[in-house]
Amino acid sequence: MKVRRSDRLIDMTRYLLERPHRLVSLTFFSERYGSAKSSISEDLTILKRTLKSRGTGLLETVPGAAGGARFIPYIPEKEATQFVDGVIESLSEADRFLPGGYVYMSDLLGRPNVLRQVGRLIATQYLADQVDTVLTVATKGIPIAQSISDYLNVPFVIARHDSQITEGSTVSVNYVSGSSSRIEKMALSKRSLAPDSRVLIVDDFMKGGGTVGGMQSLVKEFDAKVAGVAVFAEGSFAGERRVPNYTSLLKIHATNDHVEVTPGNFAEQIYTPERLAQFVD
Ligand SMILES: O=P(O)(O)OC[C@H]1C[C@H](OP(=O)(O)OP(=O)(O)O)[C@H](O)[C@@H]1O
């Protein structure tokens, strides 16, 4: 039965947005709706224009008989900046200040709308880069990793501080976390990363960078490659961080009696002229 264009557009949008970074063939849509490929191509032209003009993402179209469409989510710089400014306002509430120069943010990282925007924002940085797996360490980095993996449509894996029997055989590394200033251990199931795979390392917070450094060491142990590093917030740190290149949404400047939250380096890391050029025709 032939499906009307208005109904096709609604269903195609849902189908593509639920499968980011995956090519969906013209043939699939043609058979799904009982419509000619020429009609589907016209539908995709409408979708492409609307998704871009509304700042939802890119719709890459691949021509030819084996062609199709691939939805690439991104968040425009203005929307990203508004989101981060809103988070800064929330985190600047006095009762969030914790001893040792920390800020309570676990409630924010439990809100679906915050996690969605964090996922979209970090996925924007990697919209044209190959990422095979997202890696984080238990515990507070997990919801962030899940959201980013959702928008990149790749698996996420979790390094743990204590080996669990359910993880099977594991690879472990020792590292010094600036937050605890003691030697820590993290372990990752041997099934987690394939050799030469490109791994995006993420966490909720980076202070001395030792935890991220530990995850970088784990990636090296698996003969995989670090595709990038992203953290929700970076803390102020007097020492020398071992993490050369990373993206942060927030920067938390904390002393024993005061905390100031400012935007991290996401704007210059993500909205480069080259990447912005991908957003426009
Ligand atoms: O940059 P560093 O100085 O290494 O510190 C950043 C660590 C410390 C903290 O984790 P914890 O609070 O230790 O662990 P959890 O996430 O389980 O709360 C945070 O989530 C990062 O993983």
Q: Domains for the chain: give ranges and CATH numbers.
A: 5-73 (1.10.10.10), 77-279 (3.40.50.2020)
CB atoms within 10 A of CB 205: 22
Q: How far is the CA of 43 from the centre of ligand 1 (A)?
A: 47
Q: What is the mean pLDDT of the chain?
A: 92
pLDDT, average across residues 270-275: 89
Tell which residue, 21, 3, 4, has the closest CA to residue 151.
21
pLDDT digits 0-9 by tens, 80-138: 999 999 999 999 887 888 887 778 999 999 999 999 999 999 999 999 999 999 999 99
Contact 249, 232 (CB under 8 A): yes
As a whole-number percent, the residues of the chain with pLDDT over 70 amount to 98
Q: How many CA atoms lie within 13 A of 72 on its CB side?
A: 17
pLDDT(280) > 90: no
As a whole-number percent, the residues of the chain with pLDDT over 90 amount to 77
Distance CA 148, CA 152 (A): 6
Probe target for ligand 1 pocket from 98, 144, 207, 237, with the most ligand atoms within 8 Å of CB: 207
Extended strands (E) in 146-193: 156-159, 170-177, 182-189
> What's residue 224's pLDDT?
98
Q: How far is the CA of 169 from the centre of ligand 1 (A)?
A: 24
Angle between helices 5-17 and 37-53 (to 10 degrees): 60
Q: Cα 125 vs. chain centroid, distance in angstroms? A: 8
Strand partners, 24: 69
100: helix, coil or strand? coil
pLDDT(163) > 90: no
Distance CA 43, CA 34 (A): 13
pLDDT digits 0-9 by tens, 221-256: 999 999 999 999 999 877 777 787 999 999 999 877
Nearest CA to ligand 1 atom 15: 139
Distance CA 72, CA 247 (A): 20
Which residue do the tokens 């306002």 mark?
89
Rounded to 5 degrees, φ, ψ at 250 are -130, 155
User: What's this model's pTM, rounded to 2 decimal places?
Assistant: 0.94
Contact 148, 124 (CB under 8 A): no
pLDDT(281) > 60: no
> What's residue 179's pLDDT?
63
pLDDT(177) > 90: no
Extended strands (E) in 33-177: 57-62, 68-73, 97-98, 102-103, 133-137, 156-159, 170-177
pLDDT(156) > 90: yes
Distance CA 216, CA 71 (A): 30
Distance CA 37, CA 8 (A): 13
pLDDT, average across residues 55-67: 88
Asked which of 180-184, 192-196, 201-205 is least confident by mean pLDDT, the reply is 180-184
**Ligand 1 pocket at CB < 6 A:** 137-141, 177-179, 203-211
pLDDT, average across residues 199-225: 96
pLDDT digits 0-9 by tens, 110-122: 999 999 999 999 9
